[in-house]
Structure 1
Amino acid sequence: MGRPPMPIGSHGKVRLYPYGSGFLASTKFRDLDGVVRKVDRTGKSRAAAERNLKKALQERQPQTGSSITGDTKVAVLVDVFLAETKRRRRGTTYDTYAFHARNSVVPALGQLRVREATVARLDAFFRTCEKRLSANTVRSVRTVVSGAMSHAARLGAIPTNPVRDVGRIEGTKSDARALTRSERVDLLARLDDDEEAFRFDVPDLVRFMLATGCRIGEVIAVQDDAFDWHAQTVAVRANIVRVKQVGLVRHEGKTFSAQRVLPLPGFLLATLKERRPDDVTPGSMVFPNTRGHALGRGSWRDPHNTGHRLRTALDRAGYGWVTSHVFRKTAATILDQAGLSARAIAGHIGHARPSITQDVYMDKRAAGREAADALDAALGSDDEEEK
């Protein structure tokens, strides 16, 4: 069995020979293309020849343009990764990554060398996180670690990203719970009768979410020029987010699939036209941060504050289990019961993958007696004939 080849970028034993009035240092070096080549350098002394050879070998090393190596501490790698994230991604993404890095990743892994962040060590770290954090939060932490280690792999500091081989983050699945028709009618009636909810524009906000399946940030980002009143549609193309040290920012959609044009039900059209003043301007907000149906008087609503107002209004109405996502689930379930395909429903509520819509957003409780009637029609006649 032949001797295994030298790793890329490594060299063999350095040999020194007398050369004229000085010395020659020689070795074999395996270049980036895999070819082993002889490298020689001379010097006035043995030490000088060896120094000149090592300098030449260093210059032949694969250049990554980065100081990140296998001996770099994970904390330093994470800082480099966050700087790259801040340059290339949106502010909210950076804020989320920085939060998890500061609170979870660096305290537990920061003093490890990059090459020491093995699959086994990272898997143990994520299992520890599962004991104190929700599954979705652990997945976010994993995203930060994976992004940093992937960055190190691209720079040649490690051969592969070890997070790829870490075990799955398992969460507890819960069935989607959508509002029934009677619950929807009752909830809207209670919200309409709630003076504080009315003052903060909660009832119409809820109607918009139920009628479109939109997220809170998408609803408060809608401007008057997004509507095509003749076609009875609204273009959902942005969302409002709060960026640290910046404030409220209007982003062009949470994802590419989140940008969509939706048909509007008649009851929502009537509500929107009633709210719309005669002197409205195209960029006016439909749900500004002040009441008064005059659009444009106010600024963007804060999604966190809006969520809090919604939460307290739902608690007062006796629907403490309802969240803004329940309205999205309700819209998806209604469309499912109407016979729309999973792909069509995913497109309506802004999902890239129909599987997410089916698994998470559709209420699986039986609606009406259609299933029982179908089974009765297929099987009941046989039982009757046997009698």
Structure 2
Amino acid sequence: MARAKLAVGETGGVSVTREHRAKGSTGSTGWKALPRGARAPKSADVRWVASCTYRESASATRRLRRYGPTQATARQALLDAVAELREPSRSNLAGLTRRHALSEIATEWGRRTEARTDLSETTKRVYRDALRSYLLPNALASRPLEEVNRVAAVRDYLQAVAGAHGYGAARQARNVLSGVLQLAAEADVLPNNAARGVEIPRTKGAAVAVRSTKRRERLEGLEVPAKAWARDTTRALTKDERDAFRLAVATDELAIKRDVADLVQLLAGTGARIGEALALRWEHLDVTAGTLHVKGTKTDGSDRVLHLPAWLLEVLSARRAKSGVGYIFPSPKHGSEVRRDASAVQAAMRILFDRHGLSWATVHTLRRSVATIMHTQGVPLVEVANQLGHADASMTMRVYLGRNAGAPSAAHAL
């Protein structure tokens, strides 16, 4: 017999479990579920997780998760979150009508997002930047909610953002606008959320907008043509380009000062995700075997042991001789047992890409480049997927190599 569908505002059953991670780790990564009845290692941090399914509208549910040091505090935090969702008219939403400006509820949505405990600091920063950069400065923010909550209005807004800032910015803008309108719908101010499901427009030949004044000045100083300022998440470096970049970074004063020179070598030689690289500890490196244990967290396949190229093993061996304890790439300010913040690393690497003729590249370009180099060298697709930590090799081909990346075996067959 099928389960009865939850009514709007109702929750499913509440489950409370425990998670643990190695002491000294930071951020949301590294937490693993602790089986019922099992004891966590004495050297591990432990937290309780309370979760349930919440019906937020007739067509959508949300999985809520709240944390606490004890079972009771986690459960209470979840119940408080459910109560807030059921009473959206509290706080700054009292008296709000569909004739009020979008900006009024957008500001409240931003406040609530900052207060959420189920979002990582990186996610909050992305939402915060999109709200401040794309939504609040736009003329849409001053229009009444009833005018904004139309598919045509949403589509025009996303088209404008995509044209000025690109597809990625439009995607972030839609996520934020959808969240704001959903809050209004939950408060019974709007009958529905018109932004949900609106397709993000793709634009060709759009003007390149650089929000960072420092980056604009840097690119102008380097005499990089404006048409080359845009990031391109579909391109990869050739083997020669990758080697030229990593060798240039190895002696770059900025890279050395900000301690990202060795990190670039690792990313360029393994294809690891930035979060995986920053989670590496010295005990994960086996110099004798020439391997590195990357403890990925996305899927079972992301936990893997990689064989390192000789040049990268030499870089890491030299680095270990200087430290050899804690994280391989720790926080420069807080010591070897504190994990480094990814946003600071990414900012430094963006500068390096600009300075070394790769203004189109992103941190993820190095990961894509490793996949492409392996593929063009004739490495089987399943081994490329294993290198990247993908459980599904077809996703490796579809997302990282693309349909236009021919296999070397095709030439032999023809």
TM exceeds 0.5? yes
CA contact (8 A) 2:329 2:340 kept: no
Q: Quote the Cα distance in structure 2 between the aligned partners of 1:204 and 1:279.
A: 13
Deviation at 1:212, TM superposition (A): 2.2
Change (3 A) 1:102 1:167: same
> Are positions 1:78 and 2:106 aligned together?
yes
Aligned partner of residue 201 in structure 2, secondary structure: coil
Q: Tell me what 1:233 maps to.
A: 292
Opposite residue 71 of structure 1, the aligned amino acid is R
Opposite residue 133 of structure 1, the aligned amino acid is H
Q: Quote the Cα distance in structure 2 between the aligned partners of 1:351 and 1:84.
A: 35
Deviation at 1:331, TM superposition (A): 1.4
The aligned runs of 1:173-188 (5 Å cut-off) are 176-188=234-246
Q: Tell me what 2:369 maps to.
A: 330
CA contact (8 A) 1:135 1:170 kept: yes
* Larger CA deviation: 300-309 vs 144-153: 300-309
* Larger CA deviation: 228-237 vs 76-85: 228-237
Report the TM-score when normalising by structure 1. Answer: 0.59
Spell out, residue by residue over 1:202-234, the C-alpha distance to the aligned partner (whole angstroms, 9 max, x if none): 553222102221244542343324446688332
Q: Quote the Cα distance in structure 1 between the aligned partners of 2:301 and 2:180.
A: 27
CA contact (8 A) 1:260 1:347 kept: no
Spell out, residue by residue over 1:222-259, the C-alpha distance to the aligned partner (whole angstroms, 9 max, x if none): 3324446688332345xxxxxxxxxxxxxxx7x67896
Q: Tell me what 2:281 maps to.
A: 223
Deviation at 1:362, TM superposition (A): 1.6
Paired-residue identity, %: 28
Report the TM-score when normalising by structure 2. Answer: 0.56
Aligned partner of residue 294 in structure 2, secondary structure: strand
Q: Tell me what 2:139 maps to.
A: 108
Q: Tell me what 1:206 maps to.
A: 264
Number of residue pairs matched by the alignment: 289
Q: Quote the Cα distance in structure 2 between the aligned partners of 1:312 and 1:205.
A: 15
Spell out, residue by residue over 1:22-42, the C-alpha distance to the aligned partner (whole angstroms, 9 max, x if none): xxxxxxxxxxxxxxxxxxxxx
Opposite residue 374 of structure 1, the aligned amino acid is A
Spell out, residue by residue over 1:155-198, the C-alpha distance to the aligned partner (whole angstroms, 9 max, x if none): 44433321135343225596843333344444444445656655
Q: Quote the Cα distance in structure 1 between the aligned partners of 2:183 and 2:278.
A: 36
Q: Quote the Cα distance in structure 1 between the aligned partners of 2:346 and 2:133.
A: 25
CA contact (8 A) 2:284 2:293 kept: yes
Change (3 A) 1:361 1:296: same
Out of 141, 152, 156, the position equivalent to 1:120 is 152
Change (3 A) 1:197 1:347: same
The aligned runs of 1:137-216 (5 Å cut-off) are 137-172=169-204, 176-192=234-250, 197=255, 201-216=259-274
The aligned runs of 1:224-263 (5 Å cut-off) are 224-227=282-285, 232-236=291-295, 260-263=303-306
Change (3 A) 1:181 1:285: closer
Out of 320, 333, 349, the position equivalent to 1:276 is 320
Q: Quote the Cα distance in structure 1 between the aligned partners of 2:314 and 2:201.
A: 46
Aligned partner of residue 304 in structure 2, secondary structure: strand
CA contact (8 A) 2:233 2:364 kept: no
Spell out, residue by residue over 1:130-165, the C-alpha distance to the aligned partner (whole angstroms, 9 max, x if none): 332211101100001112223333444433321135
Q: Quote the Cα distance in structure 2 between the aligned partners of 1:155 and 1:80.
A: 12
Q: Quote the Cα distance in structure 2 between the aligned partners of 1:98 and 1:367.
A: 42
Q: Quote the Cα distance in structure 2 between the aligned partners of 1:316 and 1:119.
A: 42
Q: Tell me what 2:380 maps to.
A: 339
Aligned partner of residue 276 in structure 1, secondary structure: helix
Q: Quote the Cα distance in structure 2 between the aligned partners of 1:126 and 1:279.
A: 49
Out of 322, 329, 338, the position equivalent to 1:286 is 329
Spell out, residue by residue over 1:3-28, the C-alpha distance to the aligned partner (whole angstroms, 9 max, x if none): xxxxxxxxxxxxxxxxxxxxxxxxxx
Change (3 A) 1:159 1:350: farther
Aligned partner of residue 380 in structure 2, secondary structure: coil
Aligned partner of residue 410 in structure 2, secondary structure: helix
Spell out, residue by residue over 1:269-294, the C-alpha distance to the aligned partner (whole angstroms, 9 max, x if none): 4432332239733x34435539xxxx
Out of 286, 307, 318, the position equivalent to 1:264 is 307
Opposite residue 122 of structure 2, the aligned amino acid is T
Change (3 A) 1:66 1:222: same
* Larger CA deviation: 87-96 vs 172-181: 172-181
Q: Tell me what 1:42 maps to.
A: none
Opposite residue 150 of structure 2, the aligned amino acid is T
Opposite residue 99 of structure 1, the aligned amino acid is D
CA contact (8 A) 2:276 2:295 kept: yes
- Alpha-carbon RMSD across the aligned residues, in angstroms, is 4.1
Change (3 A) 1:271 1:153: same
Change (3 A) 1:175 1:259: closer
CA contact (8 A) 2:278 2:340 kept: yes
CA contact (8 A) 2:278 2:339 kept: yes
